[in-house]
Structure 1
Amino acid sequence: MIYYSTHHHTPRVSLQEAVIKGLAKDKGLFMPQHIKPLPASFFQDIEDMSLQKISYEVADAFFGEDIPADTLKQIVYDTMNFDIPLVKLNDHIYSLELFHGPTLAFKDVGARFMARLLEYFIHKEGKEQVNVLVATSGDTGSAVANGFLGVEGIHVYVLYPKKKVSRIQEQQFTTLGQNITAIEIDGSFDDCQALVKSAFSDTELNRHMQMTSANSINVARFLPQAFYYFHAYAQLKKKGIEKDIVACVPSGNFGNITAGLFGHKMGLPISRFIAANNNNDVFFQYLQTGIYTPKKSIQTLANAMDVGNPSNFARILDLYHHNYEAICADISGATCTDNQIKEEIRKVWKEQHYLLDPHGACGHRAIREGLKSGETGFFLETAHPAKFKDTVEKIINEPIAIPLNLQNFMKGTKQSIELSKKFSDLKQFLLNS
């Protein structure tokens, strides 16, 4: 498969180069030249397929031209070796629980898949070391750090905003050591993301070290997230629900919902999507006005969604050929304030004894208010509520249990490098690494 840049000012590249480079030379995001439709037979039998089988068929449509079938199958089956249950909350709303991976967040799948794919390509190319730079607003850092931990030939630098991630999230990527370096930036997530993009475009740094990204700007990170949506559809079809299905996605950098939209283009029978924002509502405002106006991110309870200039908006525009009406036909928007997040968590806990995390609360509220008569919806519950223990306990006024693997992270010693948000400081640090 050939990949092109969303800016269209650089030569097209192979999957291998797109994965290793991460970002195009013109700072655009890579897009596959073609989106391969899945055959009707796949959807006819999908309800009888395992999560691993579904994921392999989707992965083959994305990557099968570039990776031997047995290698790709091994990567998928090793990556998708945990459950993603679809939990019924009422007759019309389901929760797709994506927090059953190693770090209890939906990004585990993409991070683990990318780690294996990148390892395959760097060994194939004979590279000695590739350095992964990743900006995180919370869960990306922990998923990537744990997905790449101990992978030979890869060193990971996690940039995160000081005092703007939960303590459990921070512990998951600052306590690992080995080939993981945590860098605490005195700024916002947007500052961290800007630093990563500046590093990729710096000539001197690129001569010094081979760099790539593990944010959802990398095709190997965001595309595997399409697996979730096919799996959710399979589970609904097994229950006899095949039409008028709505998917609601808590959205920050928009990699997750973009992966779902790719699935839709491949033939996935989801009728429409709802993008749930917190107070960082630039996409919601775009849907209302047709004008995209990035702004400085605002800190909220749903911190992984605190993005004021989502990178993957460029992919959505490209996917729909910059057709505003077509985007609005497939995607609607919703916003959720911190007070509404608290109300939603309390309401669902009291009425259904189901505990939402702050991001899932945004998704649940959006789909609860946005479903139309005759529709069935699922929202993506993206992280375990225990990752936001202090916040959630204060909201429901009850203690919540911490899963064992999170308890183990809390025992580790924090190891991080503190830097300003000036690119010159990060550049000097990397040059000396």
Structure 2
Amino acid sequence: MKLYSTNNHDLKIDFQSAVFNSMPQDKGLYMPVEIPALEQDFIQHLDRYTLREIAYKVSFALLQDDIPANDLKSIIDDAINFEAPLHPLDEDTYVLELFHGPSLAFKDFGARFMSRVMAYFLKDNEQLLDVLVATSGDTGGAVALGFLGVPNTRVTILYPKGKVSEIQELQLCSNGQNIRAIEIDGTFDDCQHLVKQAFADDELNSKRRLTSANSINIARLIPQTFYYFNAVAQLFRKGKREVVFAVPSGNFGNIAAGLLAYKMGLPVKQFIAATNVNDTVPRFLETGVYETRPSVQTYANAMDVGAPSNWVRIMALFNEQRESVKEMVKSYRYTDEQTVQAIADIYRQFNYVACPHTAIAWLAIQEYQKQQAPADDTFVFLSTAHPCKFPDIFPAEIAAKIDIPEQVNALRQKEKIATAMPVDFDAFKAFLLTAE
């Protein structure tokens, strides 16, 4: 698999280099030079395959000889050891539950696959791999558990002070071993910018072997395609063929993976990018002006991103043609008030508890249905996190219905350990250079 930088199409590197370098020095993002089309027989008979079989087929099509077939199967079997079931709300509307992994968030798919790929490529006695990750909520927990105890790696997680939930924070700050957390007195965008500055700093890169576990890393993006194909496989078994996906969108890695799957042959009619009031992409699709803004804190904190990194990947997939993107991607935004009302409506109508991100995706389906002519569509909205991560958002009646997983009860017995830091790259750089 050869990859290029979105800022330099002449730059070509292999998959292993892209995994460890994460981001080109020109500050673009890596994308496949060629996107393979999956065999039609496989696509038409997705219903015959399990999630792990689909994951192997899709990843092998992309990676080819980068990882031998048997080794790739072993990585898949170890990383994707949980399911992503469809839960029906009614005959034509389904929730794709992506929170059945160890950190209770969809990012387990990317973090577990990436950590095992890195461990596979790491050689004994190589320089320690410093993994940097900025999180607005769920990424950090997934990465922490994905890399916990992985030899020759050290993970540094940056998160915005006061802007993640109690459970999310404990997932970041209670691991020890090779996992460190930094509490930044700023926003997620500040955290993300500090990480990007680190990758562009010559001195840091000469003294530390840096890589990223954010969705800017191509190894995070690939496994997120798996559950789109698997969702369609589950629908095929029900006789459903016309599929619309609604995706809660913050840094736009999740929907970028869906669009990569579409380019590989995923049979899907439409994508809907659902955002909170951090609406950079909806505004761009409406006006043609791409204007980032400082992120605003909301109940759907994993979507509190004012400068979504992965949007450049989506534009690259469509050859920078905004009109082509608009045909395949609709985008709507919602306030906290609308989110809370949606949580109540979903519970009242379907006896289902949805996290705030999930509720926003459901709202987007309602809006899309009002604007489109009636059709035989099946709607799938992604549930990206377990509702237990957001206990303060639910009214008492709904909160009482949430099943609390055992690992959450265990987390509450642990101590928070984090380093407080201002938005100061020099301080962050000094931390990376001096910490052992």
Same fold (TM over 0.5): yes
Q: Is the 8 A contact 1:250 1:275 kept in 2?
A: yes
Q: 1:334 aligns with which of 305, 319, 332?
A: 332
Q: Is the 8 A contact 2:340 2:393 kept in 1?
A: no
- 1:430 is matched with which residue? 432
Other structure's SS at 1:11 match:
strand
- 1:379 is matched with which residue? 381
- 2:140 is matched with which residue? 141
Residues 430 and 10 (structure 1 numbering): CA distance in 2 closer, same or farther, change over 3 Å? Answer: farther
Correspondences of 1:252-271 after superposition (within 5 Å): 252-271=250-269
Q: Is the 8 A contact 1:199 1:427 kept in 2?
A: yes
Other structure's SS at 1:128 match:
coil
Give the aligned residue type for 1:367. I
In the TM superposition, what whole-angstrom CA distance separates every residue of 1:183-230 from its partner, at most 9, and x where no partner exists?
000000000000000000001111110000000000001121000100
Correspondences of 1:43-122 after superposition (within 5 Å): 43-122=43-122
Partner Cα separation in structure 2 for residue 362 and residue 400 of structure 1: 19
- 1:348 is matched with which residue? 346
Q: Is the 8 A contact 1:360 1:380 kept in 2?
A: yes
Q: Is the 8 A contact 2:353 2:402 kept in 1?
A: no
Give the aligned residue type for 2:237. K
Structure 1: stretches of 5+ with no match in the other structure: none
In the TM superposition, what whole-angstrom CA distance separates every residue of 1:114-163 from its partner, at most 9, and x where no partner exists?
00001111228x62311000000000000000000000011000000000
Other structure's SS at 2:390 match:
helix
Partner Cα separation in structure 1 for residue 294 and residue 20 of structure 2: 30
Other structure's SS at 2:265 match:
coil
- 1:312 is matched with which residue? 310
Is 1:246 equivalent to 2:248 in the alignment?
Answer: no
- 2:209 is matched with which residue? 210
Give the aligned residue type for 1:349. Y
Q: Is the 8 A contact 2:189 2:306 kept in 1?
A: yes
Partner Cα separation in structure 1 for residue 385 and residue 151 of structure 2: 28
Partner Cα separation in structure 2 for residue 8 and residue 191 of structure 1: 25
Other structure's SS at 1:89 match:
strand
Other structure's SS at 2:393 match:
helix
Aligned-residue offset at 1:410: 1.5
In the TM superposition, what whole-angstrom CA distance separates every residue of 1:228-286 from its partner, at most 9, and x where no partner exists?
100000011110011x2101100000001000000000111101100000000110011
Aligned-residue offset at 1:11: 2.9
Other structure's SS at 2:307 match:
coil
Aligned-residue offset at 1:64: 2.3
Structure 2: stretches of 5+ with no match in the other structure: none
Partner Cα separation in structure 1 for residue 390 and residue 239 of structure 2: 35
Q: Is the 8 A contact 2:391 2:399 kept in 1?
A: no
Give the aligned residue type for 1:282. T
Partner Cα separation in structure 1 for residue 348 and residue 98 of structure 2: 22
Partner Cα separation in structure 2 for residue 393 and residue 182 of structure 1: 31
Q: Is the 8 A contact 1:345 1:395 kept in 2?
A: no
Aligned-residue offset at 1:394: 5.2
Partner Cα separation in structure 1 for residue 221 and residue 413 of structure 2: 31
Give the aligned residue type for 1:392. F
Residues 10 and 413 (structure 1 numbering): CA distance in 2 closer, same or farther, change over 3 Å? Answer: farther
Is 1:186 equivalent to 2:185 in the alignment?
Answer: yes
Other structure's SS at 2:90 match:
coil
Equivalenced residue count is 431
Partner Cα separation in structure 2 for residue 17 and residue 354 of structure 1: 44
- 1:408 is matched with which residue? 410
In the TM superposition, what whole-angstrom CA distance separates every residue of 1:23-72 from its partner, at most 9, and x where no partner exists?
00111100010000000110232102111101110111122221110111
In the TM superposition, what whole-angstrom CA distance separates every residue of 1:366-406 from its partner, at most 9, and x where no partner exists?
11221342211100000000011121245846463321111
Q: CA RMSD in A?
A: 1.3
Residues 393 and 178 (structure 1 numbering): CA distance in 2 closer, same or farther, change over 3 Å? Answer: farther
Other structure's SS at 1:94 match:
strand
Aligned-residue offset at 1:96: 0.2
Partner Cα separation in structure 2 for residue 272 and residue 289 of structure 1: 20
Other structure's SS at 2:113 match:
helix
Other structure's SS at 1:53 match:
helix
Farther-moved stretch of structure 1 (368-377 vs 34-43): 368-377
Partner Cα separation in structure 1 for residue 51 and residue 400 of structure 2: 34
Partner Cα separation in structure 2 for residue 162 and residue 100 of structure 1: 27
- 1:231 is matched with which residue? 230
Other structure's SS at 2:345 match:
helix
Q: Is the 8 A contact 1:10 1:26 kept in 2?
A: no
Give the aligned residue type for 1:237. F
Other structure's SS at 1:137 match:
coil
Give the aligned residue type for 1:401. D
Q: 2:419 aligns with which of 413, 417, 420?
A: 417
Is 1:289 equivalent to 2:291 in the alignment?
Answer: no
Deviating beyond 3 angstroms after TM superposition, the runs of 4 or more aligned structure 1 residues are 393-401
Farther-moved stretch of structure 1 (50-59 vs 134-143): 50-59
In the TM superposition, what whole-angstrom CA distance separates every residue of 1:65-94 from its partner, at most 9, and x where no partner exists?
211101111111111111111011012210
TM-score by length of 1: 0.97
Q: Is the 8 A contact 1:97 1:382 kept in 2?
A: yes
Partner Cα separation in structure 1 for residue 101 and residue 187 of structure 2: 27
Q: Is the 8 A contact 2:127 2:209 kept in 1?
A: no
